[in-house]
Amino acid sequence: SNEFSGNLPDFSPEFTSLFSLDFSSNNFSGKIPRSFRYLSSVTVLRLFSNYLTGPAFPEFITNLTRLTHYELGYNLFDPSEIPTTIEKLSILEVVWLTESNLTGKIPESLCTLQSLKSFDVATNSLSGEIPKCIGNLTNLWELELFDNKFSGELPENLGKLKNLYLFDASQNNLTGMLPESLAALQLGSLNLNDNLLRGNIPAILAENKNLYQLKLFNNSFSGELPANLGSKSILNEFDVSTNNFSGEFPTTLCSGKQLWQIITFNNRFSSKFPEIYGNCSSLSYVRISNSNFSGEFPQNFWNLPHLDTADLQDNHFEGTLPPIISNSFNLSRLLISGNNFSGNLPSEICGLKKLIELYLGENRFTGELPSCITELKGLQKLELQGNMFSGEFPMNVSSWVQLTDLNVSRNRFSGEIPSQLGELPVLNYLDLSDNLFSGEIPEELTKLKLNEFNLSNNQLEGQVPPGFNNKYCVDGLSGNPRLCSSNLKSFPSCPKPIPVSFLVSFLSVLGFVLMSSISLLCITKVQTDGEFKKRRHPFKMVSFQRGGFSEQEIFSRLTEENVIGSGGSGRVYRVTLNSGHVIAVKKLWGGEDKNMDMGLLFKSEVETLGSVRHGNIVKLLFSCIGEGFRALGYEYMENGSLGDVLHGEKGGEILDWSRRFAIALGAAQGLAYLHHDCVPAIIHRDVKSNNILLDDKFLPRIADFGLAKPMIKPRGMEDGESAEAMSRIAGSYGYIAPEYGYTLKVTEKSDVYSFGVVLIELVTGKRPNDASFGENMDIVKWMTEVVLQSHEFDQAKQLIDPRMYPDTCNYKQIKKVIEIAILCTSASPANRPTMRRVVDMLKDQVTLTVDTK
């Protein structure tokens, strides 16, 4: 138990008297030295918990015939077998080789080791059957075979091991039944979980006087459990979950008064949950969900002082939650959904200060919620759905700072929705649907970042708050006939709409004071003259930012001489407004419904960009649909796209390393914002240097959201693992993540890959598909190869864009950016960091620059 490292020491031939050698729990590495063969008197050899390699049984070991203790578990041994020559170690008592990379079968010769008391080979890759002859090891007290690949049946012969006390064969592929002979042993612990065992549990198990731990879960055992199980011993832990047990549930498990765990979920008992467990005051962890229990649930169960988890979900229990529940003051999980519990929720529940999860859904609870329920400050999940709760919902919910899930749907709650819900910092699941909530939707709710949002089927009225004014919220707002909205088609429009032209001039007078930070979203129909005079139909213009310009001044200037770019999707114009401001206008080919693809690009850009505000994402100023055309207005970016600047003539000189680094960091922040701060998150799907625009200070803004897609994350998924299949081809050649080729699935990790390519571009100054990489090579493979082949960083300097010389480069920082780029372009999406992590890593580099200065 030190931190000695390096190889184990060699012994010279004189060490013939050494009888005990203990190097355990150190940092030794390398093989067991051959010189250990001289230790002819050694009886105790303890090398466990080191970093030893080589075989677990070196050939010469079997010459150390005095060995009684061979304790070498927890090392990094090479895969090796237990040699048949182990029989030479005939006085072995203890073999401890947990997690030692053992393979192959247990040799029959092991059965000759008559002195063996403890044989522990857990967590290895041993296979084949447990040898029948093992019954010869009559001194065996402990047999640990768990977490291997043993198959076949449990040998009947195990029943000969009259001294066996600990037996664990869990997590194997064992088949067949539990032999009567084994069940008859006086075991303290019997663990057979996670196998393929079936049949009844022999009644004789109930005669056991030692049994304190019984784990039979995840098998296919069936029939009734022995009636008196546990009656003769002091049972502590009992887990029979996920089997096919049926019939009566034993009443004697707690006879020894030390039972703390009962786990039965996923079985088919057809009985009550015995009353007597209400007296089992040692109980703390009870999970009996989905076990087909029925009848009145024992009242005094709610009096248990140590109870921590009570999961009774999905049975047929009846009864109430009585006031004495306050005596279970340690309860952190009270999960009783899916039963027939009824009555009021007693205010005594507010005394359970450790409650984290309270699931009462799908029962028959009635009455009001005790208002003190907001005193449960540790509550993370509150589920009350599918009951008959009524009255107002408590208003002062701001104490629920840990609440992530609130589901009260399908009840009869009335009154207003508490606006304080909007202040809850981690709430992300909110379902208030199918109640009688009335009044307006509190604007505060729009601050939440929700995975699930449902206010449908209530009696809400008034205007839909701006933050919910998008199609992703429509479903969650339906069934409230008195709601109105300025732009959602499924709702009647609100009274007194204010035309944008009026609003703009009105606000100009006010100097935009009020609107400075509020986004303005209005639709107006304007009849224009000038170029558009001839058109029969008016066009629609939607403004996303504060105004200050008119349609006419924009459209009259979409002329040839103002074209600054042209591409497959349309043309980009540079328009100087009357105010002197310069904006960029992209006019897409094809008008409404004439060209589906353009329509989709347009829609996608408007939907995503219209609501996004971030310093590293280009601002959409307005969108406009006219007859035969669509147009989008953006802030104008002085320096064009990163791709043009970088690969243009002067790229190297203009973009020195510090500018390139600032571009990398800014673009990363923009993407991180899209992935992690937008709700729903947005995947850009076409990250490339041509879609990163540079402002007058060469700071980046991410642009072109034509392929972007908001992503509704499946519930329960963490950042970074959400996936959404996309139907349209995403991305640009050279930037597309490899998984797209075989899954057509795009996740935010695909953006991370594309961003990694941009990083490489920034470092190398090369285009992703530069011909110099050769056939079958892209910029990622090329760079990875150069880096792998360069032992010294100096050699990797050949990667760096020569146009940055003799710039005062910070090589350390560039090296770090290369490392980040390699991470981002990992072949496996799971190995790529999230954009948030990328930002952190890049920011560390900012500090590093400062430090080295």
Q: Give the residue numbers of the binding site.
A: 587
Does position 428 interact with ligand NAG (CB under 6 A)? The reply is no
Bridge partners, residue 269, by sequence = 247
Does position 63 interact with ligand NAG (CB under 6 A)? The reply is yes
Least spacing, CB of residue 454 vs ligand NAG, in Å: 4
Q: Other C-beta atoms within 10 Å of 725: how many?
A: 9
- Element at 839 (helix H, strand E): helix 835-852
Least spacing, CB of residue 226 vs ligand NAG, in Å: 30
Q: Starting at the earlier edge strand, list the strands of the sheet with 27-30.
A: 5-7, 27-30, 51-52
> Which residue, 165 or 472, is less far from ligand NAG as judged by CB?
472
Does position 409 interact with ligand NAG (CB under 6 A)? The reply is yes
> Which residue, 49 or 754, is less far from ligand NAG as judged by CB?
49
> Which residue, 63 or 103, is less far from ligand NAG as judged by CB?
63
One-letter identity of residue 205: L
Least spacing, CB of residue 418 vs ligand NAG, in Å: 19
| Residue whose C-alpha is closest to residue 239's, from 200, 194, 278 | 194
Active centre residues (catalytic): 686
Task: Compute the residue count for the chain.
Answer: 853
Binds ligand NAG (CB under 6 A): choice among 457, 501, 562, 595: 457
Least spacing, CB of residue 58 vs ligand NAG, in Å: 8
CB 422 within 8 A of CB 444: yes
Considering only 95-103, 188-196, 451-459, 491-499, which stretch makes contact with ligand NAG by CB under 6 A?
451-459
Bridge partners, residue 129, by sequence = 151
Least spacing, CB of residue 235 vs ligand NAG, in Å: 18
> Which residue, 63 or 189, is less far from ligand NAG as judged by CB?
63
CB 72 within 8 A of CB 49: no
Least spacing, CB of residue 60 vs ligand NAG, in Å: 4
Binds ligand NAG (CB under 6 A): choice among 31, 132, 268, 306: 306
Q: CA gyration radius for the chain?
A: 36
Binds ligand NAG (CB under 6 A): choice among 266, 291, 456, 813: 456
- Name the residue number minimizing CB distance to ligand NAG: 433
DSSP code for 63: G
Q: Is 817 helix (H, G, I), strand (E, B) or coil?
A: helix
Does position 722 interact with ligand NAG (CB under 6 A)? The reply is no
CB 159 within 8 A of CB 181: yes
- Residue 12 has phi, psi (to 5 degrees) of -90, 165
Least spacing, CB of residue 488 vs ligand NAG, in Å: 15
DSSP code for 232: S
Least spacing, CB of residue 573 vs ligand NAG, in Å: 41
DSSP readout, 616-654? TBPPEEEEEEETTEEEEEEE--TT-BHHHHHHSTTHHHH
Q: Other C-beta atoms within 10 Å of 516: how many?
A: 8
Does position 90 interact with ligand NAG (CB under 6 A)? The reply is no
| Residue whose C-alpha is closest to residue 705's, from 694, 696, 695, 692 | 692
Q: Is 309 helix (H, G, I), strand (E, B) or coil?
A: strand
| Residue whose C-alpha is closest to residue 614's, from 839, 311, 312 | 839
Does position 434 interact with ligand NAG (CB under 6 A)? The reply is yes
- Residue 484 has phi, psi (to 5 degrees) of -130, 160
Binds ligand NAG (CB under 6 A): choice among 60, 285, 589, 793: 60
User: Any residues with CB less than 8 A from the CB of 442 and at least 6 apart, and which?
Assistant: 416, 417, 418, 419, 421, 422, 465
CA distance 349 to 340: 19
Does position 454 interact with ligand NAG (CB under 6 A)? The reply is yes
Residue 302 CA to its chain's centroid (Å)? 34
Least spacing, CB of residue 457 vs ligand NAG, in Å: 5
CB 40 within 8 A of CB 66: yes
Least spacing, CB of residue 277 vs ligand NAG, in Å: 16
- Residue 21 has phi, psi (to 5 degrees) of -135, 120
> Which residue, 74 or 341, is less far from ligand NAG as judged by CB?
74
> Which residue, 410 or 675, is less far from ligand NAG as judged by CB?
410
Among positions 320-359, residues that touch ligand NAG (CB under 6 A) are 330
> Which residue, 37 or 540, is less far from ligand NAG as judged by CB?
37
CB 584 within 8 A of CB 566: no
Does position 595 interact with ligand NAG (CB under 6 A)? The reply is no
Does position 305 interact with ligand NAG (CB under 6 A)? The reply is yes
Bridge partners, residue 541, by sequence = 524, 624
> Which residue, 41 or 457, is less far from ligand NAG as judged by CB?
457
> Which residue, 168 or 405, is less far from ligand NAG as judged by CB?
405
Among positions 727-746, residues that touch ligand NAG (CB under 6 A) are none
User: Any residues with CB less than 8 A from the CB of 540 and at least 6 apart, and which?
Assistant: 523, 524, 525, 624, 625, 626
Least spacing, CB of residue 535 vs ligand NAG, in Å: 39
CA distance 341 to 275: 16
Look up tokens 């009844």; give the residue. Answer: 200
Binds ligand NAG (CB under 6 A): choice among 7, 10, 20, 59: 59
CB 69 within 8 A of CB 42: no
- Interaction mask 8-37, ligand NAG, x per CB under 6 A: -------------------x---------x
Binds ligand NAG (CB under 6 A): choice among 148, 242, 433, 834: 433
Burial 787-809 (b: 16+ CB within 10 A, else e): beeeeeeeebeebbbeebeebeb
Among positions 463-492, residues that touch ligand NAG (CB under 6 A) are 475-476
User: Any residues with CB less than 8 A from the CB of 117 and at least 6 apart, and which?
Assistant: 93, 94, 139, 140, 141, 142
> Which residue, 410 or 688, is less far from ligand NAG as judged by CB?
410
Least spacing, CB of residue 37 vs ligand NAG, in Å: 5
Output the known binding site for ATP.
Answer: 587
> Which residue, 454 or 543, is less far from ligand NAG as judged by CB?
454
Considering only 12-20, 454-462, 627-635, 804-812, which stretch makes contact with ligand NAG by CB under 6 A?
454-462
CA distance 676 to 748: 10
> Which residue, 56 or 140, is less far from ligand NAG as judged by CB?
56
Number of residues forming the site for ligand NAG (CB under 6 A): 19
Q: Is 820 helix (H, G, I), strand (E, B) or coil?
A: helix
Greatest distance between any 2 Cα atoms in the chain: 110
Q: Rule CB under 6 A: which residues touch ligand NAG?
A: 3, 5, 27, 37, 59-60, 63, 305-306, 330, 409-410, 433-434, 454, 456-457, 475-476
